[in-house]
Structure 1
Amino acid sequence: MSLLEVTDLKVSFPTADGVVRAVRGMSFGVDRGRTLGIVGESGSGKSVSTQTLMGLTPGATVTGRALFEGRDLLAAGEKELRRIRGARIAMIFQDPLSSLHPLYRVGRQIEEMIKAHEPGTGREQARRRAVEMLGLVGIPRPDRRAGDYPHQFSGGMRQRAMIAMALALNPALIIADEPTTALDATVQAQILDLMRRLQREFGTALIMITHDLGVIADMADDVLVMYGGKPAEHAGRRGLYYGQHHPYTKGLLQSVPGAAGAGTRLRPIPGQPPSLINLPPGCVFHPRCEYVMPRCRTEEPPLMPVPAPAGAAGAAGAAAPEHVSACWLPPEAVGLGDEAERVRRRAAGIEDADGGGR
């Protein structure tokens, strides 16, 4: 059994304009020592899904199951969640300046977190551990910098401090919600290298939420692509990059600079993400899909198995999840190559069987 096993998670919020169906049936698992990357546009349900697991979506209507070390997080009370948050599951947010209290010294905030979960720990012992963790994440002169306030740290150092806090109690799982978005490229690379090294040392499972497909390619073992509050595709990293099936995944990959070759224009996905109050019928991606078929407009596709193309097997192959995609295109329409493109276009009626345009 996976360390975390989420089954059919649904999250909705009542508003004056209607019910926002933020997450509409999400299932995934995370094993110890592995990294799950969750990717998708803003509003796709990435952050809401993980925040709900931690009890951080007050007022939401939540159904489903989320078993963590045998306990259902969605059925847990606030007292039990407080014991789990920080100690067994830690979170790293996008903006560390808003996550750290501006009026307390950084070292003291780590000390308080340690003492909150280990009441028998003395103040001096907690301080030594806080300094040790700051040094572990690469903050110079940690004994002195522990006495500084958050505004005295640079953006990269604040994020390092948040990672130190997250690792202070050796949690089994870390949820990193856009942890490098606000950082420049050099600092981002340093933070990612740090997280990889610490994950190897501590054997921690990691959920990485990001818009950046480069970060996913660098960090993730498994990838979950979200669209309109639901998984669009789920596969091992190499399976997704070498043999993506869903047109939305294909569009995300082709919108990355250099994906279509040097000197070529970016190929953005046309249109806008759907309103989670008024979702389109059928496949929610069909208004933006270049391969839309009549069936797409009326029937919502379930997640269906996709065969692995040549080159998709790799380092993470044996432990990778089954490759599934929520799309009515034929299962052989995988990858970014010419043959996959012909299958897609033929299925959508854009080309005849001989490859000619209609």
Structure 2
Amino acid sequence: MSLLEVKDLTVGFPTADGLVRAVRGLSFSVEQGRTLAIVGESGSGKTVSTQAILGLLPEADISGSALFEGIDLLTLDEERLRRIRGAEISVIFQDPLTSLHPLYRVGWQIAEMIRVHESGVSRAQARRRAVELLGLVGIPQPARRVDDYPHQFSGGMRQRAMIAMALALNPKLVVADEPTTALDATVQAQILELIIRLQREFGIALVLITHDLGVVAGMADEVMVMYAGLPVERADRRTLYYRPHHPYTKGLLESIPGSTGVREGRLRPIPGQPPSMIAVPAGCAFHPRCRYSMPVCTAERPPLSRVTGDGDHASACWLPHHAVGLGDEAEAARLRAADQETETETGAR
């Protein structure tokens, strides 16, 4: 059994203008020690789906199931769910400045979280653990910085502190929600390397939420691409990068500098805008922006079905399985070799 298995998850928000159908039937699973990357544009349902699973959307209409070690999280009361959040499932939020309380010292916030879940731990013990955790994530002089306030940390250091808090109770699953969006490129790379190292060291399952396929290039085992509240493609990382099937996935790849989808040094943006989740287009929701659109795309929603010959590769598109792909096998082979070299170097570090 998978560590986390989500089936037919739907999330809706009643509004004065109508029901916002943020997630429209999402299914996925995460194995122990593995990384699932959930990718898509803003508004595709990435963050909403994980927040719904963790009980962080009390006003939403939620259905489906989310089995964590056989326990359906969606049926638990708040008290039982609170015991799981933080202790067995932790979250690294997008903006650490708003996630950390500005009026409390960083070390106190980490220590207090430990004491909430482990009642027998004294304040002194929790403080020592907070110092150890800050040192583990690379905060210099942790015994001194443990008494600093969040505004005294840089953006990268605040995110490291959030990672320390997420790992404080040795969780089995960590949800990293856009953990590097607010950081510059250099710090972003450092944070991603830190997450990879700690995941391998502690055997944690990781759900990485991002809008950027480039972020997950060196760390995801499996990638799920979402659009308009639904998964449109799911595959292992190499298959998705080198032989994508869905036009939306191809469009995301063509927006990454240096990818096989970029020709003559030019990036190709996806035309148009994501649809309103109150009035989602009939058929395939991507058809108004798709250069391969056919009449059937406007009439029927394609199921997420297996792409022939590619193992667990699945795509929700009416196009024949051979019709979409990067097509340049020599270039794909070159990038596969470069990817393998990067992975080897990361492992060595």
Q: TM-score, length-normalised on structure 2?
A: 0.92
1:62 & 1:217 partners in 2: Cα distance? Answer: 32
8 A Cα contact 1:55 1:81, kept in partner: yes
2:183 matched residue in structure 1: 183
1:208 and 2:183 are equivalent in the alignment: no
Q: Which residue of 2 aligns with 1:313?
A: none
Q: Structure 1's 100 and 234: CA in aligned 2 closer, same or farther, altered over 3 A?
A: same
| Cα deviation, residue 307, structure 1 | 2.9
Asked if structure 2 preserves the Cα contact closer than 8 Å seen for 1:35 and 1:219, the reply is yes
1:329 to 319, 327, 334: 319
Structure 1 stretch 150-159 or stretch 253-262: which is displaced more?
253-262
Secondary structure of the equivalent of 1:44? coil
Residue 85 of structure 2 aligns with an amino acid whose one-letter code is R
CA contact (8 A) 2:92 2:162 kept: yes
Which residue is 2:303 aligned to?
A: 302
Shift of 1:58: 1.7
Aligned to 1:120: 120
Residue of structure 1 in register with 2:276 after alignment:
275
Classify the secondary structure of the residue corresponding to 2:19: strand
In structure 2, do the counterparts of structure 1 residues 214 and 263 end up closer, same or farther at CA, with 3 Å as the change threshold? same
Question: Helix, strand or coil for the counterpart of 1:193?
Answer: helix
What secondary structure does 1:208 align onto? strand
1:31 and 2:27 are equivalent in the alignment: no
- Report if aligned partners of 2:255, 2:262 keep a CA contact under 8 Å in 1: no
**Matching of residues 20-169 of structure 1 within 5 Å:** 20-169=20-169
Aligned-pair identity (%): 72
Paired with 1:107 and 1:156, the residues of 2 have a C-alpha distance of 16
What amino acid is the match of 1:90?
A: S
For the 8 Å contact 2:174–2:206, the answer to whether it is kept is: yes
Structure 2 gap segments, 5+ residues each: 330-349
Structure 2 equivalent of residue 3 of structure 1:
3
Letter in 1 for 2:322: E
Q: CA RMSD in A?
A: 1.3
Structure 2 CA distance for aligned equivalents of residues 333 and 178 of structure 1: 32
Moved more, 262-271 or 171-180: 262-271
**SS of residue in 1 equivalent to 2:269:** coil
Q: Secondary structure of 2:302's match?
A: coil
Gaps of 5+ in 1: 310-320, 340-358
Deviations 1:304-325 (A, max 9, x none): 111356xxxxxxxxxxx71110
Map Cα deviations across residues 126-148 of structure 1 (whole Å, 9 max, x no partner): 11100000000000110100000
> 1:256 maps to what in 2?
256
Please tell me the residue identity of whatever aligns with 1:19: L
TM-score scaled to structure 1, two decimals? 0.90
- 3-state SS in 1 of match to 2:9: strand
Aligned-residue offset at 1:262: 6.9
Matched AA of 2:315? S
3-state SS of paired residue (1:87)? coil
Amino acid at match of 1:331: H
Partner of 2:236: 236
Cα drift, residue 256 of structure 1: 1.4
Distance (whole Å) between structure 2 residues aligned to residue 283 and residue 200 of structure 1: 38
Residues of 1 paired with 2:29 and 2:59: CA distance? 26
- Per-residue displacement from partner, 1:182-236 (whole Å, max 9, x unpaired)? 0011111110111111001100000000112111112210000000000000111
Q: 1:268 & 1:334 partners in 2: Cα distance?
A: 17
From the CA coordinates, give the structure whose radius of gyration is larger. Answer: 1
| Residues matched between the structures, number | 328
Q: Is the partner of 2:218 in helix, strand or coil?
A: helix
Structure 1 position 333, deviation (Å): 2.7
Q: Quick one: which amino acid aligns to residue 278 of structure 2?
A: I
